[in-house]
Structure 1
Amino acid sequence: MGDMLNLGISIDRNNLKKSYFATAQQAEDAAQAHRDEGYTFHILEKGKVLIEIDFKTYNVSAPAVVYLHPDQVHRMLDIDDIIVSSLSINSENLNTEYLKILQELNPIAPFLLEKEAFSVISSSFSLCLNFYAQRNNKLYYPLLRDSCNTLIAYLLSQFLNLAKPDETFSRFEKVTTAFRKLLEKNYINLKRPGQYAALLHISTPYLNDCIKGSTGYSVSYLIQERIILEAKRLLYHTNKSVKEIAFELGYADYPYFSRLFSKVTGISAITFRNKNHD
């Protein structure tokens, strides 16, 4: 996906065949884990793909949408012959309301599209792609930006159709949703359940009751899981040392972070890195 004009928007439709990855080197190159700079939507129009997102594997069949948040580490493990339409857009070009929804919905698992929805999405993408090619158009940038945001709005409507209506959430679920939003913004700086309870203006025991009732896990467990997910991403995607990663995640006490990683995952950070780079 190219972005020759540095607009913060990349869009392309590709036909990828399994034969393109026939050699060991081609397969290895295709399976390199990475992060995208923008908010990325892959619309699988034909075929099947096996993809790993944040260390979870998904077997996706067309027609489907795979959404990737900029934080998420992912890699393609295998494909059949596929046609995929891809759009990546940075936060500056996203409608602020759509950006807010994407941040609140993160993460979103890949999901299948109904026939009617797929038809709308495919034709909308074709229009965006058409505008992307009109580089001499005097309104090139607004045409491209606004058409892409329209497509994203429709994609978001499909995501929201899968979500549970707000009015059907229990009090425990509403507290859990609010906690997860705070956790996503503050996990580097706030690591104690009481700090989140204070921000939510509730007691720590009540917060724990809500989280346990909704997820089956304690507040401390979810805080640690979020921290360790980011640690895994950095171990996998960067060459930073474990000590550097610990510091980046808010741990001045490097040995404590190492013990925490081993406790949560069952293996050391170095073992995790070596295992996933084999």
Structure 2
Amino acid sequence: MSDIIKINSVTEYNNMAGQETLHPLVSVIDFAKMKPFAFKKTQINLYAIFLKDIKCGNITYGINNYDYEEGTLIFISPGQVYGIDSNGEKRQAAGNAIIFHPDLIRGTSLGKHIDEYTFFSYEVNEALHLSTRERSVINECFNNIKYELEHAIDTHSKTLIVSYLELFLNYSKRYYERQFVTRNHLNKDILVRFENVLKDYFASEQPLISGLPSVKYCAEKLFISSNYLGDLLKKETGKSAQEHIQLKMIEVAKEKIFDTEKSISEIAYELGFKHPQHFTRMFKKSVGMSPSEYRNMN
């Protein structure tokens, strides 16, 4: 297993990149200024946003590999491990990055809402691919932050830098929504496979063993992140992943209720409920009547 480089501060990252530290909590990196080096896996305890200008080898993130293409944005949150597979070969990197410490946004509007930018928890194969026009907007955001960093630090520096970061992330959110639309055919495929994952789960003995399927379980089966699955479903259907799981459970429950040889409690256990009353409560909330009333009606 290869060694993992750990980066805990902006200064450490700048030292690795051979770049001057202009602000202790945030930096804009120009990879073209770095000397060629062999990339390794890195755990970065900072927020990082990478914009690649040209193809630059395979980056591994979690269990996936992703070949960077021109104009690709990837977002990484503190504690995540990423790495470029260069097989020991030294390469010249290209593109830019914004690195910032969580302390930069503490107590700010961005700090309060950072969890809303769910793409920080996406997998690498869910990267944001920019159009030419989108890329020019993103580059302008990079340049605005860089300008503030090159300006002497004063009482306005943090406010302006955080404001530009928030603007950057809001544009990224818009472009991700556009990507969900332009990749509609891929999204439909994921929805079909998601439905099949739930179907197979409830048709197996897994509910008795593990209970109701989690969003994480479904996402792993689809080889995507939980946040990406949730955002995709919300965009395509208006419902959350958890709502979809519950609706599928209700659909299966309705079929099982027709089997009058099984009690409602037995059906509840088969669906993954530890306590039948929880199933009854959820069923009534969704259908408008209890499982027993539904059985008697039919």
Tell me the TM-score normalized by structure 2: 0.49
Q: Which residue of 2 aligns with 1:88?
A: 99
* Cα distance in 2, alignment partners of residues 195 and 62 from structure 1: 38
| Aligned-residue offset at 1:40 | 1.8
Aligned residue identity for 1:116: R
Counterpart selection for 2:53 from 45, 53, 58 = 45
- Asked if 1:73 is matched to 2:91, the reply is no
Partner Cα separation in structure 2 for residue 196 and residue 142 of structure 1: 40
1:59 maps to 2:49: no
> Any conservation in 2 of the 1:38–1:88 contact (CA below 8 Å)?
yes
Instruction: Give the count of matched residue pairs.
Output: 186
Structure 1 residues 208 and 102, CA, compared in 2 at 3 Å: closer, same or farther?
farther
1:106-255 mapped onto 2 (5 Å cutoff): 106-107=122-123, 109-163=126-180, 192-194=210-212, 202=246, 205-206=249-250
| 1:38 and 1:70 in contact (8 A); partners too | yes
Task: Return the alpha-carbon distance in structure 1 between the equivalents of residues 143 and 92 of structure 2.
Answer: 20
Residues 46, 81 of structure 1: 8 Å contact kept? no
- Tell me, yes or no, if structure 1 residue 20 matches structure 2 residue 7: no
Kept in 2: contact 1:64–1:113 (CA 8 A): yes
Q: Deviations over 1:151-203 (max 9, x none)?
A: 121122111212259xxx99xx6xx7xxxxxxxxxxxxxx9434969x96948
3-state SS of paired residue (1:131): helix
Structure 1 residue 132 displacement after superposition: 1.6
Change (3 A) 1:194 1:162: same
Q: Which residue among 89, 99, 121 is the counterpart of 2:115? A: 99
Contact 2:31 / 2:94 at 8 angstroms: preserved in 1?
A: yes
* 1:97-119, Cα deviation, whole Å (9 max, x unpaired): 45313269634622431111111
Identity among equivalent positions (%) equals 10
Structure 1 residues 54 and 128: CA distance shift in structure 2, 3 A: same
Check whether the contact 1:69–1:107 (CA below 8 A) recurs between aligned residues: no
> SS state of the match for residue 35, structure 1?
strand
Comparing 155-164 and 90-99, the one that deviates more = 90-99
Q: Is the 8 A contact 1:63 1:118 kept in 2?
A: yes
Q: Find the residue that maps to 2:98 and give its secondary structure.
A: strand
Q: Distance in 1 between matches of 2:145 and 2:167?
A: 9
Q: Which sections of structure 2, spanning at least 5 residues, go unmatched? A: 1-8, 12-20, 195-208, 216-241, 254-270, 273-298
Give the whole-Å Cα distance in 1 for the aligned partners of 2:73 and 2:161.
21
The Cα shift of 1:84 comes to 1.9
Deviations 1:211-259 (A, max 9, x none): xxxxxxxx99xxxxxxxxxxxxxxxxxxxxxxxxxxxxxxxxxxxxxxx
Whole-angstrom distance in 2 between the partners of 1:100 and 1:52: 25
The alpha-carbon deviation at position 62 of structure 1 amounts to 1.5
SS class of match (2:53) = strand
Unaligned runs of 5+ in 1: 22-26, 177-190, 210-218, 221-278
| Alpha-carbon distance in structure 2 between the residues aligned to 1:40 and 1:86 | 7
